[in-house]
Chain A
Amino acid sequence: MGILSQEDSDYLKKELEKITNNVIIEFFSTDNKDKCEQCDNIRAIMKEIMDLTDKVSLKEFNIDKDKEKAEKYNIKMAPVLIFNNKDNGNIKFYGVPSGYEFSSLIEDIMDIGTGNIEFDEGVEEKIKAIDEDVNIMVFVTPTCPYCPAAVRTAHKFAMINPKIKADMIESYEFPEIADKYKVQGVPRVIINEKDGFEGALEQEKFLEKIIENL
């Protein structure tokens, strides 16, 4: 038995057929066994997707061994999945994209694979115009129904502007970093190391918060 029901898997297969560009995903595991408790889970999720399409590929690295590469993509910890179509690595999932975040992973794949990324009116131009480095961290839990909206908005912004780096961070798997940023409610969004906001905001309001924190 796979992770998805037969029905969901059939539906997903049809969706994935719409992909025109190959989607390259990189996975960094770690030698630290405690940290890598979920690594097999991530591999299983990715395998499930790749069994349904040949347009998505996964390359595995190790944060402790492939140090140079890890540094290049500014990888703080593992396990992490990175979308790396543009050799920029600015779209990341730290921890398992399971529960609600599985949909975020699939939607990211669809956006990048079809090149068809939807924005609310007027937002796209403003995002593209940002010419400073922006680091967005979106803290989530897998059981938070409001979280994918925040993750997706951050990731979409990063898809169209390489200066924007957007990380999903699964708080339960990375308690040290969640504690460091005092995450006690999700989704919690941190922008350029500053306390951003809690909750899922519309694209336009999210954009305003970015600009406030530049």
Chain B
Amino acid sequence: MILNLDKNKKTVSDNYDAVIIGGGPAGLTAAIYLGRARIKTLVIEEMIPGGQAATTVRLENYPGFPEGIGGAELGSLMEKQAKNFGADIIYDNVIDVDFKNEEKIIKLNKREIRSKIVIIASGAKPRKMHVPGAEEFEGKGISYCATCDGPLFRDKNIAIIGGGNSAIEEAIFLLRFVKSIIIVQDLPKLTAEKILEERLIKHKNVKLTFNNKILSINGEKEIKSISVEKTNSKKKMDIPAEGIFIYIGYIPNTDYLKGHIELDKFNYVKTNENLETNIKGVFAAGDVCKKTLRQVATAVGDGAIAAFMATKYLENEGG
């Protein structure tokens, strides 16, 4: 049972010392540290506490939980912990920012908030597939969230596009519901952790296919198949599927930052090792940053560093 109450009930002020954009693991960790430093802190989250982590059923590699922990549960525990130390949390969407002056402005749908420092922790979202049929069938047989939509594919033969950690974790989850799974990977091997791969291939109703370039997703009212081209032989073939889950990577949630802060060519926020951005008083943490490993454990580490640096900044500049 997930008890996640009190959303939107909080009236928040318009002025903070620290505003954190995003209530995922990075943002909530930063809020815990800032709260303990007795800094007046606001977290702005548009959907649910825990961010992407909350969209997976179970996390097994986050230390401290030898049996694993539910992603949503971890998210609401982090939220509780941040609130315990005095951080405010509101559920709203940051649509724009103004970092030109020392006082930073964060623009929400219907209000503006001013803050001395900002920590960007808006994370990432699933990369969409762009081939004929992909858009058309989204929500009609194509899903980017197995946790959400998995139960709707009971007894279906499905395909999963991708071969990384998320793809294989979610495949294992989907096996509770579906009849069979085929993993459609573009590379010659899976890139997921070995332990996940071992667990997956134990199941008799799982097949894998490698070196596939997706050409299109086909069907009339319902999905029937995926057309692929073999990357080596260039041979074309059709893979039958009644439903498709896509895990082909992520894109950062940085649209609202364009023109305000330095991004890399994939639109991730550029920082130095102290998680400072090119704007003084603006820090970034978690999946939204240019970095090598995007996991809860690294997001949490980032959140702590960004909060520490922000605290120092406030002591030196803001005091």
Contacts and interface: CB of A to CB of B under 8 A. Distances in A.
Contacts of A8: 1, 3
Contacts of A121: 110
B64 interface: no
Interface in A140-162: 141-149
Interface of A is mostly: loop
Please classify how large the interface on chain A is, using the bins under 10, 10 to 19, 20 to 34, 35 or more: 35 or more
A203 B141 CA distance: 27
Contact of A171 (B110, B143, B151): B151
A144 B147 contact: yes
Nearest to B2: A100
Interface string B62-74: 0000000000100
Interface string B94-125: 00000000000000011000000000000000
Given A145-B72, A146-B48, A184-B243, A98 B54 contact: no
A184 B3 contact: no
Interface in B126-153: 138-141, 143, 145, 147-153
A186 B148 CA distance: 7
Interface in B1-51: 1-5, 8-9, 47-48
Interface stretch (A20-28, A66-74, A175-183): A175-183
B154 interface: yes
B231 interface: no
Nearest to B149: A185
A15 interface: yes
A141 B19 CA distance: 33
A115 interface: no
A183 B143 CA distance: 12
Interface in B52-100: 54-55, 57, 72
B201 to A, nearest CB: 25
B1 A4 contact: yes
Interface string A20-54: 00000000000000000000000001000000000
Nearest to B137: A184
Interface string A189-212: 000000000101010000000000
Interface in A93-149: 98-100, 102-103, 106-107, 110, 118, 120-121, 141-149
A188 interface: yes
B265 to A, nearest CB: 29
Contacts of B138: 185
A171 B154 CA distance: 11
A207 to B, nearest CB: 15
A12 B147 contact: no
Contacts of A178: 152
A102 B149 contact: no
A184 B150 CA distance: 9
B154 to A, nearest CB: 7
Contact of B55 (A120, A145, A149): A145
Contacts of A103: 2-5
Q: Which of A3, A182, A184 has the most CB of B within 10 A?
A: A184
A200 B2 CA distance: 18
A198 B154 CA distance: 20
A132 B228 CA distance: 49
Contacts of B54: 145
Contact of B5 (A3, A106, A120, A183): A106
Contact of B149 (A107, A142, A144, A182): A144
A184 B143 contact: yes
Nearest to B50: A145
B3 A143 contact: no
A198 B139 contact: yes
Nearest to B91: A149
A178 B140 CA distance: 12
B108 to A, nearest CB: 12
A67 to B, nearest CB: 31
20 contacts: A99-B2, A100-B2, A100-B4, A102-B1, A102-B3, A103-B3, A103-B4, A103-B5, A106-B3, A141-B151, A141-B152, A143-B57, A143-B148, A143-B151, A144-B149, A145-B47, A148-B4, A171-B152, A182-B140, A185-B140
Interface of A: 3-4, 8, 11-12, 15, 45, 98-100, 102-103, 106-107, 110, 118, 120-121, 141-149, 171-172, 175, 178, 182-186, 188, 198, 200, 202
